[in-house]
Chain A
Amino acid sequence: MSNLSTRWLKKSPWVYHVGTGGCNNCDIEILDCLTPRFDVERFGIKLVVSPRHADVLLVSGPVTYHIKPRLQEVYKQAPKPCVVACIGACACSMGIFKDAYSVAGPVDKVIKEVDPNAIFVYVPGCPPKPETMIMALVKALQKI
């Protein structure tokens, strides 16, 4: 893919943060990533307030049954191509919440129900370091 939209995506990926029932630990690391210590805005990575502006969805937490339809709706609203970054062990594989009564499945499984060709990047860790998230995003954008 080398059309105009992917070239823009590589230059300055705008991220939208979706919390899907995590314990807020990954969310805090995402905030660390965005605030001046790591300052990802120097790479053009910027937090936006609407999924309609987003190139990357940062999803943290195992997907609960409550949030499952909302996450799918948010993914549908994001313009394609769109990278889904699964932040943390829970989002990658449900982590310790596997087989729980309230958890619908890992992020990739839930999103593949609406789009089988979605692009994923997995950032395991509990929580992952901000450096790891930046590196994962860079690798994902190189692949596109």
Chain B
Amino acid sequence: MNKMSVPEFINQFKQRYSGLSDIQEHSAKRVYIRIPRENLKDAAHILFREMGAKFSIASGVDVREGFEVLYHFTFDKHGFICTIRVLAPRDDPKLDSLVSIIPGTIWIEREIYDILGVRFEGHPNLKRLVKAEFADENEFPFRKDFDIKKFKEKHGLPTPE
């Protein structure tokens, strides 16, 4: 079978995708595509439905500009990983949920909502998942401004020395 290289993939992606994108070719096995959050569903549809990528996992990071969510797609037959990066601004942390396109994102989006506080619009069951039961809905441990001392004092837990 013909293996698709990363530059070939970028060409094919550009032909199908019409919105803004910032493509960073990191290595022969890794490519990052930064897109505005309005185009997230289009890009996921192109990668998952049209180009046959496999959804591996999503991850969320608190960066300076806001909360960045990275959707990692793997092309197992071609041997590289494509990561879609979208930014949710700090004052309005909302993204479109990909559950309607990729059912496998249901759990990881719920977990990212629970510990990072990014709201996924259109998610069928956006409830808390892994946080301790006594923690409040608006306490997000993976945010940079989360204060572990205040959190422990508030809930009456033993504070670190």
Contacts and interface: CB of A to CB of B under 8 A. Distances in A.
Which range holds the interface residue count of chain B?
10 to 19
B131 interface: yes
Nearest to A69: B133
A99 interface: yes
Determine chain A's interface SS by DSSP, over half rule: loop
B148 A66 contact: no
B9 interface: no
Interface residues of A, number: 9
B160 interface: yes
Contacts, number: 23
A98 B161 CA distance: 11
B151 interface: yes
Interface string B134-161: 1100000100001010011000001010
Contacts of A101: 132, 135, 141, 146, 148, 151-152
Interface string A60-74: 000011100000000
10 contacts: A64-B132, A65-B133, A66-B133, A98-B160, A99-B148, A99-B160, A101-B146, A101-B148, A101-B152, A102-B132
Interface of B: 130-135, 141, 146, 148, 151-152, 158, 160
Interface of A: 64-66, 98-102, 105
